[in-house]
Amino acid sequence: MASLTSPLRERLLRDEPLIAPGVYDAMSALLVETAGFDAAYLSGASIAYTQLGRPDVGLVSFDHVADVLRRIRERVSIPLIVDADTGWGGALNVQRVVQIFERAGANAIQLEDQSFPKRCGHLDGKEVVSASEMVEKLRAACDARQSRETLIVARTDARAVHGVSEALDRAALYIEAGADVLFVEALLSHEELRTCSQRLGGRVPLVANMVEGGRTPLLSAREAHEMGYKIVLAPGALVRVLVPTVRDFLRNLLEEGSTAGWSGRMLELDGLNAFLGTSELLKSAGGSGSNR
Section 190-219 average pLDDT: 95
User: How far is Cα 260 from Cα 82, in angstroms, rounded to an integer?
Assistant: 39
What does the pLDDT average to over 155-183?
96
Instruction: List the domains of the chain with CATH numbers.
Output: 8-236 (3.20.20.60), 243-284 (no CATH)
β-pair partners for 292: none
pLDDT of residue 258 exceeding 70: yes
Q: What percent of the chain has pLDDT over 70?
A: 95
Query: Is the pLDDT reported for residue 86 higher than 90?
Result: yes
Provide the b/e sequence for 200-213 (b: ≥16 CB within 10 Å).
Answer: bbeebbbbbbbbee
How much of the chain, in percent, has pLDDT values that exceed 90?
88
pLDDT for 126 = 83
Q: Give the pTM.
A: 0.93
- What mean pLDDT value characterizes the chain? 93
pLDDT at 121: 66
Q: Which residue has the higher pLDDT, 206 or 2?
A: 206
Residue 25: is its pLDDT beyond 60? yes
| pLDDT of 273 over the 80 cut | yes
What is the model's pLDDT at position 5?
A: 38
Q: What are the pLDDT digits (tens) for 96-127?
A: 999 999 999 999 999 999 988 787 767 677 89
Q: Which whole-number Å values give the CA distances from 148 to 66, 112, 145, in the listed order?
A: 20, 20, 7
pLDDT of residue 285: 84
Give the model's pLDDT for residue 253. 97
Of 27, 19, 22, the closest CA to residue 47 belongs to 22
pLDDT above 60 for 134: yes
3-state secondary structure the chain: CCCCCCCHHHHCCCCCCEEEEEECCHHHHHHHHHHCCCCEEECHHHHHHHHHCCCCCCCCCHHHHHHHHHHHHHHCCCCEEEECCCCCCCHHHHHHHHHHHHHHCCCEEEEECECCCCCCCCCCCCCECCHHHHHHHHHHHHHHCCCCCCEEEEEECHHHHHCHHHHHHHHHHHHHCCCCEEEECCCCCHHHHHHHHHHHCCCCCEEEECCCCCCCCCCCHHHHHHHCCCEEEECCHHHHHHHHHHHHHHHHHHHHCCCHHHHHHCCCHHHHHHHHCHHHHHHHCCCCCCCC
For 36-63, write each residue's pLDDT tens digit.
999 999 999 999 999 999 998 989 999 9
What is the distance of C-alpha 60 from the center of its chain? 14
| Residue 286 binned pLDDT confidence (cut-offs 50, 70, 90) | confident
User: Tell me, what's the pLDDT at 122?
Assistant: 74
Q: What is the mean pLDDT of residues 120-136?
A: 87
Over residues 145-168, mean pLDDT: 95
Cis peptide bond prior to 117, omega within 30° of 0: yes
pLDDT for residue 7 = 81
- Of the pLDDT bands very low, low, confident and very high (cuts 50, 70, 90), residue 290 is low
Is residue 161 predicted with pLDDT exceeding 60? yes
Output 245 or 6, whichever has higher pLDDT. Answer: 245
